[in-house]
Amino acid sequence: MVDHHEFYRDKRVLITGGMGFLGSHLAIELVGAGAEVSVLDAMIPIFGGNEFNLEPVHDRVRTRVGDIRDAELVEEMVEGQDLLFHIGMQTSHVDSMTDPLWDVDINCRGTMNVYEAVRRHAPECHVIYAGTRGQYGVLRSSPVTEEHPMSPTDIYGVNKVAAEQYGFVYGRAHGLRFSSLRVSNTYGPRHQMKHGKYGILNWFLRLAMDDATISLFGDGAQKRDYNFVDDVTEAFLLCGARPESTVGEAFHLGGGRPSTLRSATEMVITAAGSGRYELTPWPGERKAIEAGDFVADHSKFSQATGWRPRVEMEEGLARTVEYYRRHKQHYW
């Protein structure tokens, strides 16, 4: 099997949302593999773009502050790229319901700018799209496979389905080399820590590290699949390095070891060495879009690339706490 780090040597790679959580991890790994990395990030405060995220490689990455809704800028950044990791999108479930047109504008129109720029200026570029478990909605069967029907519970999920399907349409109609990785619940270093609108496990870590009380809605019994960010980064790199088995396909990731939100919270408190939790009634706006349990079968992606999750949750949480203790001033 080809070493995917060898694959990326001298490749020209663009990452949208590259100063955020997953994007910055990808940038750091790609620089280490010898790629020529460019980053486009709108630095919209709520999304967690943070210049410090790229501190280990700040002098070896071409960075540009700009929005995917700026078609001319996107065309400029896309031209000549070999691979494009499209991660820079609106990610708040709640905000998609309170301001749905904003979500449409970024996640649909902005993403179409990306696909159009690739079609016109980099037709051989492989686009790897960051999908989401939110595309499925309430599960009819578990663990979920990629063939499960999609019936999102919020506008964010609908627009993520649409943006993914645009990519497949461009693949069929224009030959776009397109892959989608539907990400589950990802946690780890470099995530924004200022609010809990997304990235709930990281938000719980902040509360625990501040010795605050974590509010769990309902009985906390909903099951989730969690992936440490290093495993997710590895998955995206493998997806890009295995085009013969990933182009034209959608996959989802999973941790292989689901746990209830309540037990995950208990692990967070143990890792932080402080904090507590209490059960509280569901707020109306949260209850209306709650999808319930989510456990993924990631065997399709494992068979295509050899990927498997490696970092157990206890280890991942310990590593995350250690990172934020060292760099708290950049995230709190």
Q: What is the pLDDT of residues 126-172, one digit of tens each?
A: 999 999 988 998 888 889 899 999 999 999 999 999 999 999 999 99
Residue 332 within any structural domain of the chain: no
- Residue 209 CA to residue 273 CA, distance in Å, equals 7
CA-to-CA separations, 306 to 246, 277, 300, 303, in angstroms, rounded: 12, 38, 10, 6
Q: Report which secondary-structure segment, H or E, holds 199.
A: none
Q: Per the domain annotation, does 328 fall within a domain?
A: no
Confidence (pLDDT) at 1: 37
Domain tally, the chain: 1
Q: Considering the domain boundaries, does residue 182 fall inside one? A: yes
pLDDT in tens, 259-297: 999 999 999 999 999 999 999 887 766 655 566 778 899
Mean pLDDT of 26-52: 96
Is residue 161 included in any domain, yes or no? yes
Name residue 15's beta-bridge partners: 39, 85
pLDDT at 89: 95
Domain presence at residue 27: yes
Domain-located, residue 262: no
> Residue 286 has what pLDDT?
64
The model's pLDDT over 69-128, given as tens digits with 9 standing for 90+, comes to: 999 999 999 999 999 999 999 988 889 999 999 999 999 999 999 999 999 999 999 999
Segment 196-210 shows an average pLDDT of 94
Domain span at residue 176 reads 4-193+227-257+295-311
Q: Band of the pLDDT at 210, cuts 50, 70, 90? A: very high
Identify whether 116 is part of a domain. yes
Q: What is the pLDDT of residue 17?
A: 98
- Indicate which CATH number applies to the domain containing 117: 3.40.50.720
Contact assessment for residue 234 and residue 307, using Cβ atoms and an 8 Å cutoff: yes
pTM metric for this prediction: 0.95
**Residue 204 counted as domain residue:** no
Find the radius of gyration of the CA atoms of the chain: 19
Q: Tens digits of per-residue pLDDT, 211-267?
A: 999 998 888 888 888 999 999 999 999 999 999 999 999 999 988 788 999 999 999
Residue 2: what pLDDT? 45
